[in-house]
């Protein structure tokens, strides 16, 4: 999924790709835009509002 994000796929395209491969949500339902957004947010791949700079330590 990270590869598709890197290519600029949106939530709708990601949900379509997951559904085409037969993946289901934890509740056994097809993916929607919102379920993909929630999944990415929970994985830490989606943040709201801003980008942070990476600082070397």
Report residue 28 CA to chain centroid gap. 17
In which band, very low, low, confident or very high, does the pLDDT at 54 lie, cut at 50, 70 and 90? very low
Domain ranges of the chain: 2-43
The CA distance from 57 to 43, in Å, is 24
pLDDT given at position 48? 54
Closest CA to 14 of 4, 6, 22: 4
| Arithmetic mean of pLDDT over the chain | 81
Q: What is the pLDDT of residues 31-48, one digit of tens each?
A: 999 999 998 888 887 655
Report residue 26 CA to chain centroid gap. 15
Does the pTM of the predicted model rise above 0.85? no
- Please report, in angstroms and rounded to a whole number, the separation of the first and last CA atoms in the chain: 29
């Amino acid at each position: 999924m990270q590869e598709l994000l890197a290519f600029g796929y949106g939530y709708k395209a990601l949900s379509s790709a997951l559904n085409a491969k037969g993946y289901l949500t934890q509740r056994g339902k097809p993916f929607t835009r919102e379920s993909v957004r929630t999944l990415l947010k929970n994985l830490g791949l989606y943040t709201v509002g801003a980008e942070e700079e990476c600082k070397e330590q």
